[in-house]
Amino acid sequence: MKRNEKLKEYSLSDLERIKVHGRTTGCRSPLTLFWTGSAIELNVKGSELWIEVEADYDTYEPWVSVVMNSVPVSRQMVTAGRHWVCVFRGMNENVIKNIRIVKDVQPMSADPACSLQIHAVKFDGELLPVEERPYKLEFIGDSITSGEGAIGAKAEEDWVPMWFSAINNYSAMTAEALNAEYRVISQSGWGVLTSWDNNPHANIPEYYEYVCGLLTGEKNEALGAFNENDFDAWQPDVVVINLGSNDGGAFLTPEWTDESTGKTYKQRLNEDGTYNEEDLASFEKAVENFLIKLRKYNKKAHLVWAYGMLGMPLMPAIYRAVDSYIRKTGDRMMSVFQLPNMTDDTIGSRSHPGGSAHEKAAIELAEYIKGII
């Protein structure tokens, strides 16, 4: 096939008909994709499309998926450097293709060098407007919501970006079922109070009001990760909070020591294996405080605490915290939903929910959200 001489190059900032998904700074020269499921979406009438990407990392490389007309068609690692990637070529130039280039991997808080940016596109033909979807959903979570283990064989246990998926993910599936636009705020191992290993700094609520505040380092500061998020620019109809799995795990793991202060932290069990009441109360208070913060920034959204997929030992505590929040605030736009647990048949890689587990969760959650919106 001959080289296409009709290709024209455009900076992302020069094209109004490209829709950006996911929290970002508003800068398109270049556009930084921070979160799982962040993407650019465009309707292309043409035969060929390329994107110019730039990636960097020390340890954890970014991955992207290409979705054409709502169907995943390719997936690849983005190697370090700045280069052009072909999305499609040789197709019917008169047919419109809806294209989403999706960041498959969460922001890597343990790798300050990790970044993914899109500089430009080149194509023949023209871009058409991307249709606005009727609903907006935000998903907040941990490794489950980051899609860790949602792709790959059960035998895979390496903690590498390859086994993360924003596509085989209940968040994307739920949004698709509801014809909704969506965003994801998630980080593997993190909780609402503490991480799986009792680190109290690894909690999502502390960083929620920033573009991508859980990242670190001067590079991410320069990219705008620590800027305050513009909540007025994007208000969700429903916020789904899937946190608690790692908080539950913290009761079962050794204490964590803060090297800078020498202070240790531990969610404790009683001698009979029950949860220490004081520590459980701290978890419940963290849930309640996060709901207060979420309501501050999402004034009209229905808040759904969706917990499960990897067991739900803290469900009674979540119910108590939510009831306390409703009682104190009078806010009735709040509910709890039990996500179906992963089974031996639906397990994915890294002992996490596989694609079929995510699909089952999405079917049930979408049906529940339909009753809300």
Domain coordinates in residue numbering, the chain: 8-128, 135-370
Matching CATH number, 135-370, of 3.40.50.1110, 1.25.40.850, 3.40.50.150, 3.40.50.300: 3.40.50.1110
The DSSP code sequence of 331-344 is: --SEEEEEEPPP-T
Query: Under 8 Å CB-to-CB from 36, ≥6 apart: which residues?
Result: 103, 104, 105, 106, 107, 145, 146, 147, 164, 166, 169, 171, 184, 186
Supply the CATH classification number for the domain 8-128: 2.60.120.260
How do strand 135-141 and strand 238-242 relate by DSSP bridges? parallel
Q: What is the pLDDT of residue 105?
A: 98
Short-list 139, 78, 155, 143, CA closest to 106: 143
First to last CA, the chain: 49
Q: What is the pLDDT of residue 117?
A: 98
CB 186 within 8 A of CB 35: yes
pTM of structure:
0.97
Q: What is the pLDDT of residue 1?
A: 65
The backbone torsions φ and ψ at residue 181, rounded to the nearest 5 degrees and listed phi first, read -80, 145
Residues of the chain with pLDDT under 50: none
Rounded CA gap, 18 and 156, in Å?
36
